Chain A
Amino acid sequence: MTREDFGVGYRFPAVSRSLTREAIIKYHHLLEFLTKGSTASSDGGIHTSVEFAKQHGFADLVAPGMMTTNWLSQWLTEVFGDGYVKGGSLQTNYLKPVLAGDSVTMNMEVTRIASEVSGLMVDLGLRCENQKGEIVTIGTASVLVHQRPSAHFEEAHSILQ
């Protein structure tokens, strides 16, 4: 990407992640431990029991929606650095469940650019799709771009690949 490419409508190269049962269970247990100091009462739900998930109409374990938010936040940190973690924002809505075995592709597009004293305020549209092309998570973000974007973005994207 060159500086000239960077404008409203620019689409960042998509990034994909695969989701396993083990990853969902690990996430759930770590969140439980982090917030409660124990995982003692956390098993048996749609995030940890395939049988329970199937009884409730899901084909497999259901990933907590926050997993896709974490992936998007990580992507924003990689690409925009301090322009996201200091003064940036992220908003996500969970539209459809993500299941174990799904492959999720994250998409990011520039929707608005405004000049600020300290750089460019860039608004982004975010979309996570499963392998069927269904949108599972949709969102927006705002970031401040302090520096010439091209080299920074190329380096960030190479890290993610």
Chain B
Amino acid sequence: MAATKFIIDVRANEELAPLKLVVTPEMVEMWGESCNNHHPWHTQASPFGGRIAQPTIVMPILLMVRALTCPDGSGPFPLVHRSYEATNASPCKVGERIEAKGKCLARYSKRGREYAEWELVLTGEDGRLISRYKHTICWNAMPSSESEKK
């Protein structure tokens, strides 16, 4: 039986399993609906030749990628999203096949809390960079043994 792996078990510099996926209309519609973002570039057409995904779709894609490596999610240690940092190099078109590569950039303690920084790089099938995203989370409470394992 495969060992349980929670998000908290990922160490600094550990790469996540890469994911190739198609950014489907349903994904873009669902992400738009979640925040009532019905901008016509995401729902109808854009100057880039067809619909494009919201730049912030990098966040749910990071969660998808992380779930491949950490199928048991946050487990017994609830986490909090602390910051979002994305550079939008090129729009991601709806229907486009992309590759998502993720990594845990850093683990550290600050003011009694444990933090983890994640990076996600999205590239198109043509090799162009779509987005580079940094996602920071923290755990409000974590056993000291987890700190010592870092």
Whether B60 lies near A86 (C-beta < 8 A) is no
| Chain B CB within 10 A, most for which of A45, A73, A78 | A73
Whether A35 lies near B89 (C-beta < 8 A) is no
B106 contacts chain A at the CB level, 8 A cutoff: no
Q: Which of B6-14, B32-40, B107-115 contacts A (4 or more CB under 8 A)?
A: B32-40
Number of B residues near A (Cβ < 8 Å) is 34
Whether B67 lies near A35 (C-beta < 8 A) is yes
CB A76 to nearest CB in B, in angstroms, measures 8
Task: Pick the residue among B39, B41, B47, B81 that contacts A66 (CB under 8 A).
Answer: B81
User: Can you give 19 A-B contacts (C-beta < 8 A)?
Assistant: A26-B33, A31-B63, A34-B34, A66-B56, A69-B59, A70-B54, A70-B56, A74-B37, A78-B39, A81-B47, A82-B47, A84-B55, A84-B88, A85-B91, A86-B48, A86-B90, A89-B88, A90-B85, A92-B84
Q: Which residues of B contact A12 (CB under 8 A)?
A: none
Within the assembled complex, what's the spacing in Å between the Cα atoms of A98 and B88?
26
A149 contacts chain B at the CB level, 8 A cutoff: no
Interface code A76-98, partner B: CB below 8 Å = 1, 0 otherwise? 01100110111111111110000
Chain A 23-71 residues near chain B, CB threshold 8 A? 23, 26-27, 30-31, 33-36, 45, 64-67, 69-71
Interface residue tally on A, bucketed by range? 20 to 34
Task: Pick the residue among A30, A36, A81, A91 that contacts B85 (CB under 8 A).
Answer: A91
Within the assembled complex, what's the spacing in Å between the Cα atoms of A26 and B30?
10
Q: Which residues of B contact A65 (CB under 8 A)?
A: 80-82, 84
Whether B84 lies near A66 (C-beta < 8 A) is yes
Whether A71 lies near B67 (C-beta < 8 A) is no
Q: Which residues of A contact B89 (CB under 8 A)?
A: 86-87
Q: Which residues of A contact B30 (CB under 8 A)?
A: 30, 33-34
Task: Pick the residue among B35, B39, B48, B60 that contacts A34 (CB under 8 A).
Answer: B60
What is B's interface to A at a CB cutoff of 8 Å?
A: 27, 30-31, 33-37, 39, 41, 47-48, 52, 54-56, 59-60, 63-64, 67, 78, 80-91
Task: Report whether over half of chain A's contact residues are helix, strand or loop; otherwise say mixed.
Answer: helix
Q: Which residues of B contact A27 (CB under 8 A)?
A: 34-35
The closest CB in chain A to the CB of B56 belongs to A73
| Chain B CB within 10 A, most for which of A84, A85, A87, A94 | A85
Within the assembled complex, what's the spacing in Å between the Cα atoms of A73 and B91?
13
Whether A73 lies near B54 (C-beta < 8 A) is yes
Task: Pick the residue among A31, A36, A45 that contacts B34 (CB under 8 A).
Answer: A31
Task: Pick the residue among A30, A33, A71, A92 that contacts B83 (CB under 8 A).
Answer: A92
